[in-house]
Structure formats: structure tokens, C-alpha cells
Chains A and B, each alone.
With several copies, the nearest count.
Chain A
Amino acid sequence: MEYNLMVNQEKKCINAVISDQHIQVQTENALHDAGFVNISDHQVLLTVDGKIFNAFVSHHGNTKTVAIQGRSYEIRDADLIEETSSGKKSVLNAATIVASPMPAVVTGILVKTGDRVEKGRGLVIVSAMKMETTLFAPFDGTISGINAKPGDKVMPTQILVDIEKD
């Protein structure tokens, strides 16, 4: 069976046959034969040619974080993502929106609706864990909406300022 997985933003197409305690995977350049045991909800023990790979897994939404030997990978089912995200307001193109790079608290709004702004103009100041970051205008335009106020807790998916592009 074919799986399309997104591994840290990179699309990987693999073929896998999965049974109760066994997975055979054909990737682009290797064939793996792995035994597996689910140790807990968050831990999978893989055995490949007698070698042990101990994987820790957590999931939030469709993405799973898999940590192996101290390295972590963000993995999601690419097909699943495309479908579920198609209905939502997409925030994929981070270069063209005004959003906090991390969960943060808004500490200042530097513009108001109707203001003309040039690319690079500071719009919003957010603070997280004692670190302040200024969010800049991604292009020239006019502020058509401000969706946050000082004190608000905001997430990276939230668009804080709407700009009508010139």
C-alpha cells in the first residue's frame, strides 16, 4: 500500500505492508523489515535486523511528533492534510500574513485601521517568555482590519492584522 507522508515539510512517498507486529517498508532508496511492539500510547519499539529503535510519539491534530535517538520528526499523512485543510482558512503562506511565530501575548499595536503601510513597517509587538518580537508588514498596502488588542493571547495560526494589498 502506498502512503504519502509529510516528514518535516518534505513529502515522502513510501510503500508499506503492515501486519500485527511487523512492517515492511519500501522507501525511495531502501527496503526495511521491522518488527514493532507498542510499549505504551506514546512509545513504539522497532526492531530492524535485531537493532532496536525506540520511538516516542505524541500527536496533536493530524501531526505526530516522533522522537528517535534524541532526534525528532514531525510527520503527517499528506493526503489527510490536504483534505482537512481545504475547508479551512489557510495560513500556509507565512510570508504574506501577519501572525505571531509562536503562541504569545500582544503587547502593542502600532497601527490603526485605514493606515497606509509600507513593506517592513512594524505593525504589532508580541511577547512570549520574556522575548519581544515585532511583526512587520509583508507588503505595501492599507490596514483593513486589526484582529487583536494588547493583552490578547494569540496563536501562530491567527491573522492579527488584515492588509489590503496595493
Chain B
Amino acid sequence: MFKKILIANRGEIALRVIHTCREMGIKTVAVYSDADKKAAHVISSDEAVYLGPSEPSLSYLNMDAVIAAAKKTRADAIHPGYGFLSENHEFARRCRDEDLVFIGPAPGVIKNLGDKITSRNIMIGGGVPVIPGLSRSEPDMAVLKEAAKKIGYPILVKATAGGGGKGIRIVHGPEEMEQAVTEASSEAFNAFGNREVYIEKFFTRARHIEFQILADQYGHTIHLYERECSIQRRHQKIIEETPSLALTPELREEMGNAAVKAAKSAHYENAGTVEFLLDEENRFYFLEINTRLQVEHPVTEITTGVDLVRLQIEIAAGRELSLRQSDIRPRGHAIECRIYAEDPEKDFFPSPGTIRFMKEPDGPGIRIDSGIYQGFEVPVDYDPILSKLIVHAGTRDEAVGKMIKALQDYIILGVKTPVELMTDILNSEPFRTGQVFTDFITTHFSDWKPDRDLADMAMIAFLAHSRGNIEKRGRTSSEPGKTVSPWDTLGNWKL
């Protein structure tokens, strides 16, 4: 087993990996940028190496610096977390060349699955259903329109490289095709240096359902059931759960088998996620494989009782997967809420700042994967995720009740968070009845405002707090017994 692992990441996911490493007796090396000198992942590691300035390209994305840090600290392996270098096949290859174990699949696998057309063709070859579309880049507009006609509008024009919602256009009829292709192609070139686009069917109302998979070096591949991730804002998931209400036991088995087939077709190794679209007729289509640990992996861990990071590390160290498909028996219902530093009243604008006060919920069935602490300055330079709140209960209703309570007890002051919005989502009729599609937020919560019916109590608390703090200052003043009058310091009160 590895003696020391460098974690090429920051925030809650770096801490998540540190937790398991420490439990396994493996030393950890954190890396950090200028903005993260006091970050939680640095504080919690055994060693920490400075990478460079806050700008990601100069620190967390700087392969030379990361590899040098691993060499310097004599780490055996690198865990990439998610984001940053986690799906960079060049980085995976460089690790291998430098005799460092990259905790993830082989570089060639990452490369193939990172290219949308290549991965699509692998899936077709493996008999996994893909979205109706063209499995090649097609420069001839006439051929493209002919294909689109066959597939049926609306059509999605999609860059073969990259992601993050860039190089994507929705086309409602042939007259829009040419402009859409030009724009998507140009955007893709600017973002990824690759002009190639292809087309596939666009589903206006779909669910995003993904399957966790695990595969070792010896050909054992299993799935750990699904995660329902349809609730998204700006194409990014914010609430995930398992099991999905949309799946019947038969469909679940079918999709699970397809996920295993997908992983095997790609010669996948380590933990990964097979993403599917599920349309309104309950037909599912392969979307992509994420070749890394997923943000929402905790809902799978908490229902299956499996530590995915431990298994990632064991698989990377060459251990055989001892779990068989029949060992995986999910129990109960789990929900995750992602706590971002953002303002849901202002279009989810980022809200960096200092965590002035923080109080986490506790008690049975609650898990928090956090990357912050009271006093931490959330930097503007990185993804706004602060923490994840995960609950586990016997049934979905119980899990919803638990999550609402936990959200109400999760106090983060100093930055805006979507905690109040999430409470309202969980309380809402469409969520309660499982009517969750990728357009959930825009359909039901686009003009959301919090219900501020306790304003009177808030004002009383405001006054009480001012009074209390004055009292306190009074008590610690040099003259015992003398208390500063509230009216001296509490603003311009009128008599």
C-alpha cells in the first residue's frame, strides 16, 4: 500500500481524500496557492507544498509544480480529486512517466472518454444506447441537415472536446443550423483549440441519471447503483439523491448492466461514473463517463456502506476488488445538497467573502463534507463549492424531513448560500412527488425569493444582540459595575 499520497486539489474534496488516507494510515501531502495558505485542506494534511499564485493555471493546474511537489515529498501516488487536473490525460501520463501512481484510469482511457465522438463510438461498439445523432464531425451542411431531419428537431450542436456548457447550441429547425454550427465551432475553438462539432437529439425534458462504477485491474467491474442529479442551475447539479424515483427495479437493473458494459467497453479501471439521459418515455441514453470521483459520490457511499476513496486507493495500488455485484445492496434513501457561495436571489452570482459565523447541523444520519471553517476567506479564484450536506434515512420522506431540518440548522454567515432556496425546493410539491427534470429550477424557482415572515423576530434579535454585546463590553471594562449605556453606542436612537 502507498505510504504517502499527494492530493492535487483543494476544498472539500481534498479533505474528503485526507479523511480516508488518515484512516488507512497513509500520510497526505496538500498543495496550495497564495489564496489557500490558510485553507482547510492545508490545515488538515501532514505536509503541504506551495504551488504558486492563486490563478489556477499557475498553481492547481500547473503540472510541473504538482509533480515537483510529489517528488519533493516522496509521495507514492497522486489523488486528483475532481476538476483541475483530474480528467487531464496528459497529467495522468506524466505521473506514470515520473513513476507516480495516478489514482484514476489509464491515460489512454481518460483521453478516449474525454472526446465525445470517440467515447460515443466506443459505446456503440459495446452495445450501449447512445443519443440519436451523428457519430462523426460532419463539415458538409447538406449532409448535416439531412441527418438532423432523420433524428428529428430540436437538435443539439455540440463540440467534441471540452465541456462546461461551452460550444453548445440548440437548433429548432434547419434554418438555424448553419449559424449554430458556425458559432459552436468558433466558441469551441476559442475554448478548447478544436473546431470539431457534431449533432445529436436534444431532449427538452429529461432526467440526468448516473451510475457509479468500480473496476479493478483484473477485469472485475461492478456498479453501485444510480444517482438522480436532475436538479441543476447553470448546468451544474445542486441537489442529488439515490435511489431515483424514476427507475423501476427492471429499468434500474438494465441501466446498471449498461453502465458496467460501458465501463468494460472503455477498458475502464478505478472509480468512475456513467452518465445517462432518461427521457420522458423512460428510454435511457449514454451521455458520458466521468473518469474521476464525482462531487455527489457521498449519496452512494452512505446507501451502499462503501468508502469509494478507499477503494480508489486500493485499486490504484493493484488490489483486487473483493466486492461482487451481489454484495452491493443499497439501503434507505440519501440526498445531497451542495452548499455554494452564491446568491440564489441574484441569479446564483458567486458570493466570495469571509465566513463570519458557521454552525453545522449534527445528529443521526447527517454527513457533512466541508472545505471551510469560521474565519476562512473564501477566495474568488475557484469553484464556489463550500461544502456538501448529505442525509440518510429509511425512506425518501424521512430523508426529506431530515434534510429540511439539517438545512435549517446549517448556519453560514458572511457569504450568501442557497440554503434557504434548497429548503423551499425540498418542501415543494414537484420535489416531493419526484417531478425532477433538468429544467426544474428554471421551471419552478426562477423568480425565487425567500419568505421573510420572521422579520419581527429578526428585529428583536438585532436589538437584543446589540444590547448583549454592550453589556459584555461593559462587564469587561476597567471599572467593574459600570455598564456602558446602550444608547451611547447603538446608533442614533430617538427618544
Q: Do A and B touch directly, given a CB cutoff of 8 Å in the complex?
A: yes
> Residue-by-residue, is A106-132 near B (CB-CB < 8 Å gives 1, otherwise 0)?
000000000000000000000111110
Q: Is the CB of B454 within 8 A of A80?
A: no
Which residues between 439 and 482 of chain B lie within 8 Å of chain A, taking CB atoms? 450-465, 467-469, 471-472
Decide yes or no whether B48 CB sits under 8 A from chain A.
yes
Contact A30:B411 (CB < 8 A) given known A3-B493, A46-B461: no
> Residue-by-residue, is A1-31 near B (CB-CB < 8 Å gives 1, otherwise 0)?
1111101100010101010100101010010
Pick the contact of A55 from B350, B451, B457 — CB < 8 Å? B457
A85 to chain B, nearest CB (A): 13
Q: Is the CB of A41 within 8 A of B469?
A: yes
Q: Which of B136-144, B149-157, B379-387 contacts A (4 or more CB under 8 A)?
A: B379-387
Q: Is the CB of A131 within 8 A of B454?
A: no
> Residue-by-residue, is B64-105 near A (CB-CB < 8 Å gives 1, otherwise 0)?
000000000100000000000000000000000000000000
Q: Is the CB of B490 within 8 A of A46?
A: no
A33 to chain B, nearest CB (A): 10
Decide yes or no whether A70 CB sits under 8 A from chain B.
yes
For A23, list chain B residues within 8 Å (CB): 460, 463-464, 467
**Residue total for B at the interface (Cβ-Cβ under 8 A):** 71
Q: Is the CB of B455 within 8 A of A44?
A: no
Q: Is the CB of A73 within 8 A of B38?
A: no
Cα–Cα distance between A40 and B372 once the two chains are bound (Å): 13
B11 to chain A, nearest CB (A): 11
Which residues between 411 and 426 of chain B lie within 8 Å of chain A, taking CB atoms? 411, 413-414, 419-420, 423
Decide yes or no whether B37 CB sits under 8 A from chain A.
yes
Contact A14:B459 (CB < 8 A) given known A45-B38, A105-B380: yes
Cα–Cα distance between A43 and B382 once the two chains are bound (Å): 24
Which of A47, A51, A83: most chain B Cβ within 10 A?
A51
For A60, list chain B residues within 8 Å (CB): 356, 414
Decide yes or no whether B341 CB sits under 8 A from chain A.
yes
The majority secondary structure among interface residues of chain B is mixed
Q: Is the CB of A12 within 8 A of B459?
A: yes
Pick the contact of B486 from A18, A52, A66, A68 — CB < 8 Å? A18
Q: Is the CB of B383 within 8 A of A130?
A: yes
Decide yes or no whether B326 CB sits under 8 A from chain A.
no
Cα–Cα distance between A54 and B30 once the two chains are bound (Å): 14
Cα–Cα distance between A116 and B492 once the two chains are bound (Å): 45
Q: Which residue of B lies closest to A14 (CB)?
A: B459
Contact A18:B463 (CB < 8 A) given known A36-B468, A60-B356: yes
Decide yes or no whether B146 CB sits under 8 A from chain A.
no
Pick the contact of B384 from A48, A57, A129 — CB < 8 Å? A129
Q: Is the CB of B420 within 8 A of A70?
A: yes
Q: Is the CB of A71 within 8 A of B413?
A: no
Q: Which residue of A lies closest to B384 (CB)?
A: A129
Q: Is the CB of B411 within 8 A of A56?
A: yes
Cα–Cα distance between A46 and B462 once the two chains are bound (Å): 11
A127 to chain B, nearest CB (A): 8
Decide yes or no whether B42 CB sits under 8 A from chain A.
yes
Q: Is the CB of A52 within 8 A of B452?
A: no
Decide yes or no whether B45 CB sits under 8 A from chain A.
yes
Decide yes or no whether A164 CB sits under 8 A from chain B.
no
For B359, list chain A residues within 8 Å (CB): 56
Contact A104:B491 (CB < 8 A) given known A71-B450, A129-B352: no
Cα–Cα distance between A60 and B416 once the two chains are bound (Å): 14
Pick the contact of B461 from A52, A53, A104 — CB < 8 Å? A53
The majority secondary structure among interface residues of chain A is strand
Contact A104:B380 (CB < 8 A) given known A16-B463, A67-B413, A83-B492: yes
Contact A50:B48 (CB < 8 A) given known A3-B493, A83-B492: yes
Q: Which residue of A lies closest to B382 (CB)?
A: A129
Decide yes or no whether A69 CB sits under 8 A from chain B.
yes
Which residues between 1 and 58 of chain B lie within 8 Å of chain A, taking CB atoms? 30, 37-38, 42-49
Q: Which residue of A lies closest to B375 (CB)?
A: A40
Query: What class of interface size applies to chain A in its complex with B?
Result: 35 or more
Q: Is the CB of B48 within 8 A of A129?
A: no
> Residue-by-residue, is A87-105 near B (CB-CB < 8 Å gives 1, otherwise 0)?
0000000000000011111
For B266, list chain A residues within 8 Å (CB): none
Cα–Cα distance between A37 and B452 once the two chains are bound (Å): 23
Q: Is the CB of B420 within 8 A of A71?
A: yes
Which of B349, B463, B492: most chain A Cβ within 10 A?
B463
Cα–Cα distance between A130 and B349 once the two chains are bound (Å): 11
Decide yes or no whether A165 CB sits under 8 A from chain B.
no
Q: Is the CB of A66 within 8 A of B383?
A: no
A135 to chain B, nearest CB (A): 13
For A5, list chain B residues within 8 Å (CB): 459, 462
Cα–Cα distance between A72 and B343 once the two chains are bound (Å): 12
Q: Is the CB of B349 within 8 A of A102?
A: yes
Contact A44:B465 (CB < 8 A) given known A37-B38, A130-B382: yes
For A72, list chain B residues within 8 Å (CB): 413, 420, 450
Decide yes or no whether B218 CB sits under 8 A from chain A.
no
A125 to chain B, nearest CB (A): 14
Cα–Cα distance between A105 and B57 once the two chains are bound (Å): 15
Q: Is the CB of B469 within 8 A of A128?
A: no
Q: Which 6 residue pairs of A and B lie closest in terms of their CB atoms, listed nearest first? A: A38-B468, A55-B461, A70-B408, A77-B491, A80-B491, A58-B413
Binding site for B on A (CB under 8 A): 1-5, 7-8, 12, 14, 16, 18, 20, 23, 25, 27, 30, 32, 34, 36-48, 50-60, 62, 64-73, 75, 77, 79-80, 83, 101-105, 127-131, 133, 153
24 contacts between A and B (CB under 8 A): A2-B495, A3-B463, A5-B462, A8-B452, A8-B455, A18-B486, A25-B463, A36-B461, A38-B464, A39-B373, A40-B375, A41-B472, A50-B48, A50-B49, A51-B47, A57-B462, A66-B458, A69-B408, A102-B343, A104-B350, A129-B341, A130-B383, A131-B384, A133-B349
